[in-house]
Structure 1
Amino acid sequence: MTDVSAGTLAEMLDERQHLLEIALWMFGSESTADRIVQETYRRWYALDDEERAGIVVPRAWLTRVAGGICLELLAAPGPLPVPGSAGAPAPRPRPAMLPAHQQARPDQGMLVRHDRVARRFAAACDLGDAAALRAVLAADAIVVSDGGGKLRAPVRPTYGADAVARFVTSLLAGRPGTEVAVESVNGRTGLVLRQAGRAVAVVGVSVAEAEITAVWIVLNPDKLQHWHRP
């Protein structure tokens, strides 16, 4: 099943910022606000498929939940408690990592072929050209995105060249001010998307012959800090 209800990358980032602003307004602490947003998304992912499908306007639901968590914390006696599963200390930020098989050291010919295909993919992404994306994808291509529970990213992989092309085009649409840069991702050519120097997505691809077989999109803010630029 394809889960594309999360909308575009621009919409997801705007949604997260909206929730952060609610929590900041209530508490004035960025660390507390981040924990509140994380707990809000944890509750979203705790729903089953049928419950999520029944939510007509997810942003409104998330806003109500974030506000409710704020009220719960304000009403709690004693020191400010840490909401939900966010109590564990945050791991030290690491570079965005993609599946282990992409980290092997291929020969130079494979790297050159990978670079050529990845750059075709990057050009199609930059133009938002679904047909060009479809042309570089294998028929059974897959796309997987990782929001780390901190963005309302799709919870399932998307399969098939047509569906993957639509997914990627939709995800990257509506992104004014976003720079698409071709950079090394785990030792191979990939893409980094930035807004005002801050990375908002890192994209890696798996290549077989002249086609892309898998697209890996890291959206988790904790994994993107390494990719920020002045």
Structure 2
Amino acid sequence: MSSPQEDDQLDPGLDAIMKERRQLINLAYRLLGSLADAEDVVQDTYVRWYAMTPEQRDAIVSPGAWLNKVASRICLDLLGSARVRRENYVGEWIPEPVPDRTEWAAVRPAGTATDPADRITLDESVSMAFLVVLESLTPAERVAFVLHDVFRYPFNDIADIVGRTPAACRQLATSARRRIRDAQAPTRPANRQTDVVRNFKQAWESMDIDALIGFLDPGAVSVADTGGLVEAGARSLEGAEQIASGLVALLHRMPDLTILERMVNGRPGLVIEQDGVIVSVMALEATDDRVTHIWVMRNPEKLRGWRTEPQG
């Protein structure tokens, strides 16, 4: 069996190819809203790369561009089938939160330079609110918008991926941009949302319904994704009083829960543990000084990454 060093000598371009992996994960996650699906797409993309002969690979001027194009096409196909799968999904479906053990206190100040590999959790385009709105777009709109507005692809390249003219792709992105603008309410920057979510957390831990109601917008909405695999929480809750009552009732019923301050898709969120095991991940969005949206991931299949210890 050859050693890794020997493999690199046999394929000197391997290192450059594998460095594209994080970029591909970033792209596929934004297009699909599922980290598990994004990883499958990247695996499939590399399989197609190595299915070619060495001569065919050598003929490709920009391997990175080729990999991104193939990954985008696979995502476009998956988005069509994903709609069918989600029609049969038990309860509400929300995007899969990206595993992140970062505490709020460890968050870098706005404007601090970060490694491109950190973009999947720190970039605004991966916030839960943004990903939820992307779910309302058609597959072609989502691909055109994400590739152009997030990753700055030119419309000529997008046209080759989507199979439409550059002008049509421009229209797709414009339509998506309009729908996203209309659907999204102004929100606090992540570094200013910390106080709002911390006040919310403290009121919840104190089981103070009145305080909780005060930290929730009157029209607040809470959505839970259980996948039909855990009890309760499969329906949406609307209104500050209903949400506050439900949260306090949960702690009365399960007093052994621990509420942790963690970053969830680049914004201050909460992670709920029971007996040291993560059972829920909550993404929150705030406008002014109140929480307006809560997305609760309870589906254990979508929490696998959160429950796996990071490799040292």
| TM-score after normalising by structure 2 | 0.39
List, as ranges, runs of 4+ consecutive aligned residues in structure 1 with deviation greater than 6 Å.
102-105
Structural mapping, 1:32-47, within 5 Å = none
TM-superposed deviation, 1:183: 0.4
CA contact (8 A) 1:124 1:133 kept: yes
CA contact (8 A) 2:97 2:297 kept: no
Counterpart position of 2:196: 117
2:266 is matched by which residue type in structure 1? G
Structure 1 or 2: larger helix share? 2
CA contact (8 A) 1:94 1:226 kept: no
CA contact (8 A) 2:269 2:283 kept: yes
Counterpart position of 2:205: 126
- Is 2:253 aligned against 1:174? yes
Q: For the residues of structure 2 that align with 1:194 and 1:118, how far apart are their CA atoms?
A: 17
CA contact (8 A) 2:128 2:265 kept: no
2:284 is matched by which residue type in structure 1? V
Q: For the residues of structure 1 that align with 2:266 and 2:302, how far apart are their CA atoms?
A: 17
Q: For the residues of structure 2 that align with 1:181 and 1:228, how far apart are their CA atoms?
A: 14
CA contact (8 A) 1:141 1:213 kept: yes
1:219–1:172 Cα change, 3 Å? farther
Q: For the residues of structure 2 that align with 1:99 and 1:187, how far apart are their CA atoms?
A: 9
How big is each residue's C-alpha offset from its partner over 1:57-110, in whole Å with a ceiling of 9 and x where there is no partner? xxxxxxxxxxxxxxxxxxxxxxxxxxxx9xxxxxxx9747974516999xxx71
Counterpart position of 1:227: 306
Counterpart position of 1:12: none
- Is 2:217 aligned against 1:138? yes
CA contact (8 A) 1:200 1:219 kept: yes
Q: For the residues of structure 1 that align with 2:260 and 2:242, how far apart are their CA atoms?
A: 24
Q: For the residues of structure 2 that align with 1:201 and 1:98, how far apart are their CA atoms?
A: 17
Counterpart position of 1:101: 130
Q: Number of paired residues?
A: 137
Structure 1 or 2: larger strand share? 1
Question: Which of residues 228, 250, 266 is equivalent to 1:187?
Answer: 266
Runs of 5+ consecutive residues of structure 1 not aligned to the other structure: 1-84, 86-92
CA contact (8 A) 1:142 1:213 kept: yes
- Is 2:232 aligned against 1:153? yes
CA contact (8 A) 1:111 1:188 kept: yes
1:94–1:129 Cα change, 3 Å? closer
| TM-score after normalising by structure 1 | 0.52
CA contact (8 A) 2:97 2:265 kept: no
Counterpart position of 1:47: none
Question: Which of residues 200, 205, 209 is equivalent to 2:279?
Answer: 200
- Bigger radius of gyration: 2
Runs of 5+ consecutive residues of structure 2 not aligned to the other structure: 1-87, 89-95, 100-125, 134-149, 151-187
